[in-house]
Amino acid sequence: MDDTSTIIFVTMIAIGLISVYFAFRIMAKGRKKETEAASVVAASLGLSLLEPEEAMRRSYEESGQLGLLERFEKLPAPILNFLRTNAPWRIEGKRDGLPVAIYSETRSSGRSSTTYIVVRVGYRKPLAFDLHVARESQLTKLGKAFFGLQDIEIGDAELDPLIRIKAKEGEAVRLLFSRKEVKAAIIAALESVPDLRIESAWTGWERVGRIADPAVLVPVLDALVPLAKALDGSSRDSHF
């Protein structure tokens, strides 16, 4: 390699390293802004903002990837410290005795990725059966009409058009949703949070975004907490 080639090579390496450095600086600045906003949200809701390392661990625990986290912990100290410091923020606490989590989550699909603000209100005891409930949409109505998509019908003229239910234990679902307090809580929650989800261990909501806003999250929690209380498995003979 002649002198000119060497100079070009070294210059390209230097430009690459500088670009990576500034990319990391921009990412760290953005993460700091998000975390500061999350701190305000936690204080306004009476919840706690987790330390970055704990937030990262909880994220991997929730996604069932603790093995990946253990491999990360073997990385060189500077890289590991950067990952810990810039971990997505996470807020936790309790409302009416139920566990609440609000956090930032980035999901990748192919070459693109999207960040969401996620809210979950857990039950003290999960339901004894798998359950997946979402708002009935025009798309799923078309799917049922033209492609034979199936869901569980409760047999309630008011509730059936509002929600789409996936579960194996159809009779158990009908029994649960026939309870007056459960039906009333679902209908009330859908009025404030039409895109809510109900699962066997939690009810939740999510929206594309990076910065948490108390003005948005307060009504979400106000809707989800009563719903979670109505569904809570510990209130019947049925982990977040």
Query: Residue ranges per domain, the chain?
Result: 90-235
Q: What is the pTM of this model?
A: 0.77
Q: Who has greater pLDDT, 90 or 146?
A: 90
Is residue 197 within 8 A of residue 238, CB to CB? The reply is no
Token couple for 145 = 């009409």
Judged against a pLDDT cut of 90, whether residue 90 lies above it is answered with yes
Angstrom distances, CA of residue 207 to CA of 61, 76, 124, 139, 157: 22, 35, 25, 19, 29
What is the mean predicted confidence (pLDDT) over 188-197? 94
* More confidently predicted of 66 and 138: 66
Query: What is the spatial distance between Cα 123 and Cα 235, in angstroms, rounded to a whole number?
Result: 10
Cβ atoms of residues 239 and 201 within 8 Å: yes
Is it the case that residue 176 has pLDDT exceeding 80? yes
Higher-confidence residue of 61 and 180: namely 180
